[in-house]
Amino acid sequence: MDRPYIVCHMMQSLVLAPLTMMLSKEVKIGKNVMIMGGCLMMSAGGITIDDDVMIAANVQLITNNHDMYDRNLLRCKPIHIKRGAWIGAGASIMPGVTVGRYAAVGAGSIVTHDVPDHAIVVGSPAKVIRYLEKEKFPND
């Protein structure tokens, strides 16, 4: 019987299908990560997902874009999702973005700039609406 998910036993992470990943060797996934189905990882620029990250269904992690003047030229910038971050359903993280520790990205948001640690961002483009209480998270 086929399983509709991938369990990374060594890393204790869960990745649910379907998953579309370009250049999988450019993706690094930490421990205790959960990635729900429908995730798209355009990873030519590199994607790093730290420990304890949750990524909801239909999230897009896009590290590449075409040059505006030479459309055949691909420009790549890495994405880094730091420890404990939570990416809501249908959100898009654009090239060069770092999502901070224990930050939350609202469902459907388009993240075009770095997200500070403990921030909650929503919208298109995503903007900080408030900060979570730092003391309520592990201090490591």
DSSP state of 103: -
Number of Cβ atoms within 10 Å of the Cβ of 2 = 4
- CA angle (60, 63, 64) in 5-degree steps: 110
Query: For 82-115, what is each residue's pLDDT tens digit?
Result: 999 999 999 999 999 999 999 999 999 999 999 9
Q: 77: buried, middle or exposed (CB in 10 Å: 19+, 13-18, 0-12)?
A: middle
Residue 107 backbone zone (phi > 0: left; psi -120 to 50: alpha; other: beta): beta
The token pair that represents 25 in the structure block: 């060797």
Q: How far apart are CA 47 and CA 12, in angstroms?
A: 19
Instruction: Give me the catalytic one of 66, 80, 113, 118.
Output: 66
Query: For 9-57, what is each residue's pLDDT tens digit?
Result: 445 899 999 999 999 999 999 999 999 999 999 999 999 999 999 999 9
Number of Cβ atoms within 10 Å of the Cβ of 72 = 6
Query: For 55-69, what is each residue's pLDDT tens digit?
Result: 999 999 999 999 999
Number of domains within the chain: 1
Q: How far apart are CA 78 and CA 89, in angstroms?
A: 21
CATH number at residue 60: 2.160.10.10
* Catalytic residue flag (residue 80): no
What is the domain range of residue 125? Answer: 5-136
Give the chain's end-to-end CA distance (angstroms, integer): 41
